[in-house]
Amino acid sequence: MGHEDFMREALALARANLAAGGRPFGALLVREGQVLARAANGIHRHHDPTAHAELLAIRAASTALRSARLDGAVMYASGHPCPMCLAAMHLCGIAEAWFAYSNEEAEPHGLSTARIYAEMALPPARQERLRLRSLRPPGEHGLYGEWDARRPA
C-alpha cells in the first residue's frame, strides 16, 4: 500500500458518506503502513459541526491507542483540511498530511474553508468575524501555577 492507495481509500470513504446522506469528506490515518483509523464527515448524524473526517480519525486513533500523541502518523484527507483539523494535527504531532481536492475546487460548491484560514491569519485586532477578547475577573490569578503543582513530574 502506498500514498495513492491510501488516498483512494479516503476518497472511497467520502463517496460512501455521500451515498449515506453525508458530506463528501473521508480521511485515513496511517502509521508505518498500518491504518490507525478511518472516518467520514459525521455532521449529518449528530449535528456536531466538529465531526469532520480528520477530527474523527484523530479521536478514534488516539482513543484506541490510549495516547493523545500520534507522532509519525500520516493523514490522508479527501479534501483540503480546514484550520480546525489542521490545528488538531499539530496538537497531536501529525507532521504529514495529503489532500486530493483543494479549497479552490471546493469554493463553487460551498465547501471551502479558505475564508476561515484568511481570517485567522490576520492580526487578532483585525479579525472581525469573531471577536476574541480578554476578560479577567478581579481577584482571579494563579490557575496555571495550580496545574504545575498537580501535574505528574
- Residues between 70 and 109 that touch its own copies (CB under 8 A): 70, 76, 78-92, 94-102, 105-106, 108-109
Rounded to a whole number, what is the distance in angstroms from the first to the last CA of the chain?
41
Out of 4, 9, 32, 54, the active site residue is 54
The site for its own copies, by CB under 8 A, has a size of 81
Taking the complex as a whole, how short is the minimal distance between the CB of residue 34 and its own copies, in angstroms?
18
Distance CA 72, CA 103 (A): 26
Candidate residues 34, 125, 126, 135; the one interacting with its own copies per rule CB under 8 A: 135
32 catalytically annotated: no
Residue 35 or 117 with smaller CB distance to its own copies: 117
4 makes contact with its own copies (CB under 8 A):
yes
DSSP for 101-123, written as a single string: E-HHHHGGGT---HHHHHHHHS-
31 makes contact with its own copies (CB under 8 A):
no
x/- map, 34-73, its own copies, by CB under 8 A: ---------x--xxxxx----x--xx--xx-xxxxxx---
Beta carbons within 8 Å of 67's beta carbon, 6+ residues apart: none
Beta carbons within 8 Å of 30's beta carbon, 6+ residues apart: 6, 36, 73, 74, 76
Distance CA 54, CA 90 (A): 12
